[in-house]
Structure 1
Amino acid sequence: MKYEISQRFFFDAAHTLERRIETEGSARVHGHTYQGEVAVAGEPDASGMVVDLGHLRRALGELRDKLDHQLLDDVPGLGKPTLENLCRFVADHARAAGFPVSRVSIWREGIGDRCDLRLA
């Protein structure tokens, strides 16, 4: 059987964005509370776990430190601070840490925006 388990995290950050709609508000520096979730998939090992969620929490804590209370426009490797690029950025970091990432979700609860990146 293949299992998928996940860990959530959040961060507060500011950004600007060039858009063709809602241009004035998007161009100004503004912030959001972002929610994130990283899912990993696989077969449980001898410990009975796909991955130890403590290790995933630690890795996501390190990633959160790179994003929390930052101007996302200035985060190295992120690119334009879109939800899509945030998903890719989080997935790249989790995969580089050795996790079998199957999905990354980033959303802004306050305004109803969400992006899901499926890797499996």
Structure 2
Amino acid sequence: MSKHFIMFEHQGASGIETTDAPEFTSHENMPGWKARAVEDAGIFMFQFEIEPGAVEYPIHTSDEAWLAFVASGHGTLYAGDAEENRTEGVRYQAGDFITFKPNTPHGWLNGNEKSLILIVKPA
């Protein structure tokens, strides 16, 4: 079944437009990590698909705040320090919400099943 990106807005008699959804692509030479993204309506959405046994996503930061939802799977979210060293970790699982304030060092390690994580921020 093909996936669609549906743009719904009032445009007169025919207000629905669909296009093909973005495809998953390998993420930054990270084996086992695939990503796709879409930006519209002032929101940027990023979707990770992570295979069991995927390499650990190293500690990193972003200048922006993010909100994530774990749609399926489980793993460990690690905190880090200013030198991007891993410190403590917390387990995440399907149904969890995760927030990141700007410049928060963090990294990911997937569990033993495929995970799907949706991440959003203002565009």
Q: TM-score range by the shorter chain?
A: under 0.3
Q: Name the structure with the higher strand share.
A: 2
Instruction: State TM-score, norm by structure 2.
Output: 0.24
What is the TM-score normalised by the length of structure 1?
0.24
Q: Which has the higher helix share?
A: 1
If you compute each CA radius of gyration, which structure gives the higher value, 1 or 2?
A: 2
